[in-house]
Each structure stands twice: as structure tokens, then as C-alpha cells.
A and B are shown apart, each in its own frame.
Chain A
Amino acid sequence: MEYYLQLIINGLVVGSIYSLVALGFVIIYKATKVVNFAQGELVMVGAYVCFALTVQAGLPFLASFVLTLLFSLILGLSIERLILRPLIGEPIISVIMVTIGLSSVLKALVQLIWGTQIKVYPQVLPHEPIFLLGLPISPVYIAAFILAVILFTIFSLFFKYSSIGIAMRATAFDQQAAQSMGIGIKNIFALSWCIACVVSSIGGVILGNINGINSQLGAMGLKVFPAVILGGLDSLLGAALGGLIIGVLENLCDGLAKELFNLGGFKEVAAFIILVFILMLKPYGLFGSHEVERI
């Protein structure tokens, strides 16, 4: 029993990071209808920049965290301006491929600058586990979970009440109508990339604190697909819940496969088997908006 409880808790922690990455993905998809295959690489770049600032430049952790966010902001702006804007109105496959190209470039840059070795973050939070329900949990995990919850609350409020958030929702709903109401669509696109990059790099920094980072971190970006499909491609709440559910299910399946069938490495694929079932049964996910086809 305790084994499964441990699995669930680990799943929740991994899931909260999936949720953060999924949040970035959903924000981009919602506003610009771009499917971003480079989400994992944005996480990785954020993690490496923060690592470079704390360890290599010797800044205090908080300062480098803020600088990382600033860097991500600029990264998001330049990606949108240089790569995605020329492709507005191109077919889906072109947009998918350009983000795949972007992910190769980012991965290569990280490899060229920092090499392929695992880098370890300096210890920010204490290592002694906190006991919750009798289970030992590392403080980093709890911090990750709390940070994820805070970010989701902030963004939910932002989209609900701030005028920029409302403009972003309007753009997502109908670009032409939004434009005719005086909303600068291009600014909204740029903004959504900025937000997505910032959120991803927060995810990256948390991940770095948990496991250390290496240049394969970006592969985790693929895990975001089961999460967003489960939640619905354009729903923030869906991203949050989808990430958590996929994290937990993945850990449970992995644990079960190990116990029952002695199968190793099932974690890598469990989420995608779930994904196939979701796509067959409920392709718009839990909270996604259905596309209505009109001729």
C-alpha cells in the first residue's frame, strides 16, 4: 500500500511539472493555434541558463532565477518574431516542422555550450525529507507542487480579469473579430510566446533542482502531449489536471508493470498508450472546446 502511495505522490510531483510545461503549450495553442514541439527544449534552455547564472557566474539563486525569467521573455519574443510570424497562415505541417526545427536548434545550442554531461544544481532547499502521512517527501517536491499551484492560480486570474488576458481569450476565440475590436493580434501572439517561455523556464528550474539537468531534458516535452490531449488542447484547467493525472497514471502503470509483468521502462510509453485511448474515445479531452465544422 505504502508503495502505491509513494507512486501516487511521485506522480503528483512529476505531474505538476508536466502541468507547468503543458500550461506553456496551451497558452501558445490557445492564442496562436501553433502546436509547439519545442516546449521541452524551452524548459531545458531555462534550466541551463539558470544553472549557468548560479554556478558558472556565481550569482545568488534568486537573482539568477529572475534573470532567467528575463532571458526567457526575450527568447520568447525573438522566437515569435523571427520564426513563427513568417509562417502565419501556412499549413499545419509547416508550423509543426518549424517548431521541430527550433527544437533541434535549441538542443544543439545547449549541447555546444554546456556539453552533454549531467549538471547538478546547487542545493537551494534542505535535503531532509518532510514527513507527510508518514511518507518521506523531499522539500523540493513540495515546493514544486506549491509553485505550480500558485502559477496556475495567477494565470487563471490573469485570463479571467486582466484586460490583456481577456484580449488573449478573444484572440483565441476569433482572430478576425478580435482584430476588428482593436486588439493587436501580433502583440498577443508575441505575448503568448513570452508567457509560455517564462512558464517553461520556471518548470526547468524546478526540474533542475529535483534531478539535475542534461541535454536530453527536452525529450520530456513530448510527455506534454498526453497531458494536453487529456485536458483538452485549449483549456488551462485541463492542462493542470491533465498533467497531474498523466503523471500519476504513468507512475502507477510503471509500478504495476514492474510488479506484475516484470517489464522495465514502461514509464516512457505508458502515457502514450493512455494518449491513444483518449484520442479514440474523447479526442477533445476533458475540457477542450469542440470544433464545429461548417461548410
Chain B
Amino acid sequence: MKADKCGLFFESYGQENQIFPSPVQKTCLGAFLLFLLIVPFILDSYYLSLFNLIFIAVIGAVSLNLITGICGQISLGHGAFMGVGAYATGYFMNLGINFFEALLLGGLVASLVGIVFGLPSLRLKGIYLAIATLAAQLILEYVFLHWDSVTGGSNGLALDAPAIFNFYFDNDLKMFYLLFFFALISTLAISNLMRSKYGRAFVSIRDFYLSAEVIGINLFQYKLYAFGISSFFAGIAGGLAAVYAMYITPEQFGIHLSISYLAMIIIGGMGKIIGSVFGAVFITLLPEFLSIVSQHLSAFFPDISTYLLGLKEGIFGLILILFLIFEPEGLAHRWHLIKAYFKLYPFAH
């Protein structure tokens, strides 16, 4: 009997570059996706809405991870770029353009704005770029609030439910499949980008920009690509958030949103796609979890609900600090350790 090989043996670069190299991984992922397809029929709309928020957060987090975790350019303006996508999508939809095209246009507008605010990255890096993107965030917030004719100002902008060929996505169940589709596509697209020439260029810019330039990468061009692609997906996430809520207000896209997306990629693990997914799940569920806990505690502390807002913010900050100090590699690293443990299970070494 021929002894079969044990483990993964790559015989070409192509094999090694696959997104899912092992059959086990493919099976597990397939089973998980199948599970996600079936699960909405069992859940009520509260849990479905959580899933939907997670899908939107996944797109946003993966796209932020592209610019910050993979290309190393710190962006404090991601929330505002999402806002640009949201407003552009809403604006085009209200003009009568159909949902799908409006969403793509929204992504493109966000991408353009991202590139404009990425221009300073020609000269700036590290902390200076972070501050420039912070300025972008605050300037865009001001535009959302004061460009009344397009954004509706502080009144906000109302939208219709998204429709494709007269099929309206007007409840959580239908939205689930729409958002699931986009989250899957975006995540796969960015994973795929990672193993292309562009992805490798981004990583080399992050690791050491001078060496990257020496081996012939046009820093400026690739940084702008990174800003453009990342903002495109941010715009898609924003547009989806807009049609999901069916209402856009400037407050949704404040600096707190940028910060919570940064927290997602930090907690999930910088530069790891799977990490962004974990981070998105974690940060989206955290406030819900705290609300549930406070409901149970309200028997003992009757006025806990008045403190809930402060508590949520404080615990968010605390978790961020604790992760940075004790688990700087994020949940993706922990996931990797768990997998490694079970892979070798009875024999740890």
C-alpha cells in the first residue's frame, strides 16, 4: 500500500498562494457558509439584525485592515469615508438610479475622496499621516452636516429599501442574504488582492518603505491604490449601512466610528483578514452583550440603565487597552494557537 503524505506539501508557488490551501479548511469554511445560509430561518429578527450589523462591520473592518494593517498607513478617517459612501449611495438612489449601481457609484465616490485625502501620504507618514486623516474625518463630518442640498444637513437623508429587479430587500431576513453576499465578496476580494502583486507591494511598504522603494515599488502610487481600494470598500460598507438603516444622519459617521473600526482591527489582529472578521464580531456584539448584562443586573442596581452609555464607552476603552497590553497580536493569533493545539492534539510537541 502506498503511504500517503501527511500534512501539506506545496509543489508550486501557485499552490502555496491559495487562500485556502488545505481540503480541511475548504470543507470547514463550506460547512460554515452553508450554516450561515440556513441559520436565518431559525433566528428571530433581533439576532438577524445583529448578524446584519456584523456583516456591515466585516466589510468596513476588512477594508480598514487593508490600508492600516496591510499597507501600514494609519487612517483615523475611515468612518468618514464610510459616510461618504453612505451619502453618495443615498443621493444617487434618491435620483432614481437603481440600488446596485448607486452602491457602486457610492463606492467610487468614497474611493475618490479617499484618494484625495490620501494625497498627503506622499510626504507624510506615521503620526503625521494619522493626524492628516483625523483632519479628513473632521472636515468630512462638517461637510455632512452643512452641505444641506446633498446630505440633508442635520435632518438626515431618508432612503427607500434597496431593490434589485423589483425585489425589495425590506426586512431583516432579506437584508441578511444581501449583506452576507457583499460581506463574502468583499472579504474574498481583499484576501485575493493580498496574494497579488498589489498585496505584496502593500506589505512591503508596511514593513519598510525604504526597502520597498529600493526594490522598485512606486510608493506614492501604491499608497494611493491602497487608499483608493480601501475607501471603495468602506464606501460600499457605508452604502449598505445606509440602505439597511434606510436613514442617514451625520452622527452615524463621527470619529467614534473610525475609532471603533480601528479597535476592530486591533482586537482582531492587524494585517490578518480573519482577524478583521473576529474583531468586527467582537466589537459589534460588545454593546449588545453589555446591554443584556445590565438588564440582568438591573434587579440589583435599579438605576444601572442611566449609566449604561458611560459604561459601554469605558468598557470599550478598557478592553482596547487590555488587548494592546496583553494580546497585541489580537484574536487572530489566539485562533491560530487554538488551531495549532488541536492540529497536534494528543502530542503537543
Contacts and interface: CB of A to CB of B under 8 A. Distances in A.
Interface of A: 35, 83, 86-87, 90, 92-94, 96-98, 100-105, 107-109, 111-112, 222, 225-226, 229, 233, 263-266, 268-269, 272-273, 275-276, 279-280, 283, 293, 295
Given A97-B324, A225-B134, 5 more contacts: A105-B318, A108-B315, A222-B255, A225-B135, A273-B139
A269 B139 contact: yes
A98 B309 CA distance: 20
Kindly list the 5 A-B residue pairs having the minimum CB-CB distance in the complex, ordered from nearest: A108-B314, A104-B317, A101-B320, A111-B310, A105-B317
Contact of B74 (A96, A225, A275, A283): A96
A104 B314 contact: yes
B70 to A, nearest CB: 12
B237 to A, nearest CB: 20
A268 B142 contact: yes
Contacts of B318: 101, 104-105
A107 B139 contact: no
Contact of B135 (A263, A264, A275): A275
21 contacts: A87-B325, A90-B324, A93-B130, A96-B127, A97-B266, A100-B259, A100-B320, A101-B319, A101-B320, A102-B317, A104-B259, A104-B318, A108-B310, A109-B310, A112-B311, A225-B134, A272-B138, A273-B139, A275-B132, A276-B132, A279-B132
Interface string B131-151: 110111011011001100000
Contacts, number: 131
A87 B124 CA distance: 24
Contacts of B324: 87, 90, 94, 97-98, 101
Contacts of A107: 310, 313-314, 317
B68 interface: yes
Contact of A109 (B210, B259, B314): B314
Interface of B: 68, 74, 120, 123-124, 126-128, 130-132, 134-136, 138-139, 141-142, 145-146, 210, 255, 259, 262-263, 266, 270, 307, 309-321, 324-325, 328
A273 B117 CA distance: 12
A263 B138 CA distance: 16
Contact of A272 (B139, B312, B313): B139
A226 B210 CA distance: 28
Interface centre among B141, B263, B310, B311 (most CB of A within 10 A): B310
A112 B127 contact: no
Contacts of A96: 74, 127, 130
A268 B321 CA distance: 29
A87 B311 CA distance: 25
Contacts of B328: 90, 94
B316 A104 contact: yes
Contacts of A92: 74, 126-127, 130
Contacts of A225: 131, 134-135
B217 to A, nearest CB: 16
Given A225-B134, A268-B142, A269-B139, A93 B314 contact: no
Contact of B307 (A103, A112, A229, A263): A112
A109 B310 CA distance: 7
A102 B310 CA distance: 14
Contacts of A226: 135
Contact of B310 (A97, A112, A293): A112
Contacts of B74: 92-93, 96
A61 B312 CA distance: 34
B325 A111 contact: no
B307 A93 contact: no
